[in-house]
Amino acid sequence: GQQVMQIPQYQHVQEGEDFTTYCNSSTTLSNIQWYKQRPGGHPVFLIQLVKSGEVKKQKRLTFQFGEAKKNSSLHITATQTTDVGTYFCAPYNFNKFYFGSGTKLNVKP
Amino acid sequence: NAGVTQTPKFRVLKTGQSMTLLCAQDMNHEYMYWYRQDPGMGLRLIHYSVGEGTTAKGEVPDGYNVSRLKKQNFLLGLESAAPSQTSVYFCASSHSGLAGGSSYNEQFFGPGTRLTVL
């Protein structure tokens, strides 16, 4: 199946610090989605990236798709306590999405 | 609109018992998915469906069966539950599974079913 590695597994930050999670694939991806899951909740769609080198922003969140379409990143500027949760990348291949293991973000107020 | 709903929310089974999890969506989506989520392992695809009457295997299909008799419903069955199937099960749906820059394959998730097999 699809090999996807997401790092780091955990990240603890002080409120106001930045946060980045990376998603690396062993194969070229057609597209990739990012989801956020709050503790005890279900995954919620954040963004979809399709083009090589694509960069998309949503307020304090910046998403990038690598030039070779084998990696992606999510960067949060000036974290807030509302950013707490697990962030998953989900590369798409052959009608299926393969979720990474996620990065669990904890934000200390 | 209710979005994606799952029944039941919680269930405890004994080894060897059977049960069916129901997923329903009211968004007229073609694609539906069943995932399981275990601690620290992200979500793993069990089975999926690209339309009414069709199903396909995902990453971890063994021990599960599915049916999509109606477009809005996707059933996940466990014929003989095992402790290894203790997990949180999520159903999701999307308008289309096809790539191409469309936002239509955004997945909408249900609230999950927490299953414990003793």
Q: What is the pLDDT of residue A14?
A: 98
Residue B95 confidence class, pLDDT cut points 50, 70, 90: confident
Q: What is the pLDDT of residue A34?
A: 96
> Which of A42, A43, A101 is the closest to B41 by Cβ?
A101
Of the candidates A65, A106, A105, the one whose C-alpha atom is nearest the C-alpha of residue A88 is A105
Classify B113 in phi/psi space as left (phi over 0), alpha (psi -120 to 50) or beta: beta
Query: In angstroms, rounded to a whole number, what is the distance separating the alpha carbons of residues B45 and B40?
Result: 15
Cα separations in angstroms, B16 against B27, B45, B81, B116: 35, 23, 5, 12
Q: What is the pLDDT of residue B97?
A: 60
Residue B92 confidence class, pLDDT cut points 50, 70, 90: very high
Query: In angstroms, rounded to a whole number, what is the distance separating the alpha carbons of residues A74 and B25?
Result: 29
CB–CB contact B42 A97 (8 Å): no
Mutate which of A23, A31, A45 to disrupt the B interface (most B C-beta within 10 Å)? A45
From chain A, pick out residues whose CB is under 8 angstroms from the CB of B30.
none
Given a cut of 70, whether residue B104 has pLDDT beyond it is no
Query: In angstroms, rounded to a whole number, what is the distance separating the alpha carbons of residues A88 and A45?
Result: 10
Given a cut of 60, whether residue B100 has pLDDT beyond it is no
Of the candidates A48, A26, A46, the one whose C-alpha atom is nearest the C-alpha of residue A86 is A46
Give me the residues of chain A with pLDDT under 50, please: none
In the sheet that holds A55-58, the strands lie side by side as A4-7, A19-25, A71-76, A61-65, A55-58
Q: What is the pLDDT of residue A30?
A: 84
CB–CB contact B42 A43 (8 Å): no
Q: What is the pLDDT of residues B3-56, one digit of tens each?
A: 999 999 999 999 999 999 999 999 999 999 999 999 877 899 999 998 999 999
Half-sphere exposure of B95 (CA within 13 A, CB side): 7
Q: What is the pLDDT of residue B64?
A: 98
Cα separations in angstroms, B68 against B31, B51, B93, B112: 10, 8, 12, 18
Query: In angstroms, rounded to a whole number, what is the distance separating the alpha carbons of residues A86 and B114?
Result: 18
Cβ neighbours of residue A59 under 8 Å, at least 6 residues apart? none
Q: Which has more pLDDT, A60 or B103?
A: A60
